[in-house]
Structure formats: C-alpha cells, structure tokens
Amino acid sequence: MHQILYHGAAQLNLILTEVQLNAFERYSRELVAWNERVNLTRIVEPEEIAIKHFLDSLSVYQVLRPDTSGNTAFSMIDVGSGAGFPGLPLKIALPDIQLTLLESTAKKTAFLQHIVDTLQLSDVAVLTARAEEAGQQATHREQYDAAVARAVSSLPALAEYTLPLVKVGGIVIAQKGQHPAGEVEAASKALDILGGQVNQIVPIELPGLDAARHLVVIKKKKSTPKQYPRRPGLPVKKPIVATN
C-alpha cells in the first residue's frame, strides 16, 4: 500500500511522509475491521482502498492548491462524509486543514470519531446531522472556506446541501464521474438561486481508476437566501431545476 500511495500522491504533487503513510495504513485496517459490522464500503482490498478511496480523495488537492495559494490552514466541511472520504485523507495529507465531517448516520459518525481518535488528528469535528439541518445553523451556515462531497447526490441537490455552508468567496468541490456536463447544466438554476457559479471542471486521471473523474468547482459569489437549504428531503425530492 505504501508504494501505491506514495507514487500516486506524488503524481498529484503531494509528498507523503512515512508517518502519513503509516496513518493511511492504520485507517485502511480499521476501515476493513469496522466494515464487518457497519456497512461502510464495498472496497476492502488494501490496494483498491489505496487507489479508489485514498488517492481518489487526494485528487481534490488539484483544485485546493491554487485556490488557497499554498496555505492549507483553511476550514473545510466534508458533506455526506460516509467513511471519511474525501475529508480524512485530505486531513492526513494536509494536517493544517480545520475539518468538519458531516454525516447523518450515527454508526458512520462513530467510525469517523474512532479514526480521528486513533490517528490523533487535531482540529477535526464530527457532526451527526443532515446537511439541510447544518445549513440552517448559525455555527455552520456560511462558515467554511471550502465544502467537499463525493458520491453524495446529483448536482442540483448537492448545491443546496453545500452552498449554504460556504462563505462568500469560498468554493464547493464536487467529485463527479466521467461525464459531468449534464449535471452541471441541470444545476444552472439552483446555482444561480443559491449564490454559486461553476468556476472550473477539472479532469482527474490516476492509474487504477476505471475512467477519468472530474472535479466540479463552484465558487460562492453571493450569500444564499435564508430559505435555503429547505427542510430535510426536499432538495432530492424537489430539486431546484429549470422548467421549460
């Protein structure tokens, strides 16, 4: 696993130390062990975990780096964190990040807290809540420099989950698959209403990944109206989309 991670991260302009590589190794072991009793992932082989979870998460660095001018002491929220992706791998690689892991399933947040404690990660908060709830709370609304999300929802709903949490001037980074253009087009009305604008779409290719992935980067241009996010469930059931 160490060799795969080290060389894969180097392709992303990240040089991992032995301490960081050991942290990823421990994370992988704990993920597999917990997965026997909590449904966290279908990927359990160490090499696949290294590529499809860890390196895929670290690919977000490609757009974080220019947006933070080399400064990694910024606040980030991982929305729908699940087993910690992409937030925890980014925290291991960039320890200065102030990270919040937002996940609605208590069994998963128990795992997240276990990893934070086991790896002795500082400046990490684990929050058991829906994104729609957190986005209406003063402690989280428009408090973050960046929000990240992987495999959470289609972009119209995801915009409503994430943009209320980000400061004006901050960014949302959505990890998407091979063809994100349709989702981006479908989200145009939602982005306009919620205060966001697509800034760039960056293709990501890593050895071992099935196909090219894309990072959709959304810039927060103006404050999100107070009525958003709507109550839990509505962003998916009734997404903000353009009508003909």
49 CB-near residues (< 8 Å, 6+ apart) = 1, 28, 31, 32, 41, 43
Q: What is the pLDDT of residues 58-73, one digit of tens each?
A: 999 999 864 444 566 7
Query: Amino acid identity, residue 160?
Result: E
224 CB-near residues (< 8 Å, 6+ apart) = 135, 142, 163, 164, 194, 195
- Could you give all domains of the chain from N- to C-terminal order, each with its CATH number? 2-225 (3.40.50.150)
Which phi and psi (to 5°) does residue 146 adopt? -150, 145
- pLDDT given at position 209: 76
What are the residue ranges of helices labelled H in 76-149?
87-93, 106-118, 131-134
Q: What is the pLDDT of residues 215-233, one digit of tens each?
A: 999 999 999 999 999 999 9
- pLDDT given at position 73: 72
Beta bridge partners of 203: 214
User: CA-to-CA distance for 155 and 218, rounded, in angstroms?
Assistant: 11
Spatial contact of 137 and 164, defined as CB atoms under 8 Å apart: no
End-to-end CA distance of the chain: 51
- pLDDT given at position 244: 46
User: CA-to-CA distance for 229 and 235, rounded, in angstroms?
Assistant: 8
Which phi and psi (to 5°) does residue 31 adopt? -60, -45
Residues of the chain with pLDDT under 70: 65-72, 242-244
Q: What is the pLDDT of residues 183-213, one digit of tens each?
A: 999 999 999 999 999 999 999 988 777 778 9
Edge-to-edge strand list for the sheet holding 166-176:
124-128, 98-103, 75-79, 144-150, 166-176, 213-220, 196-204
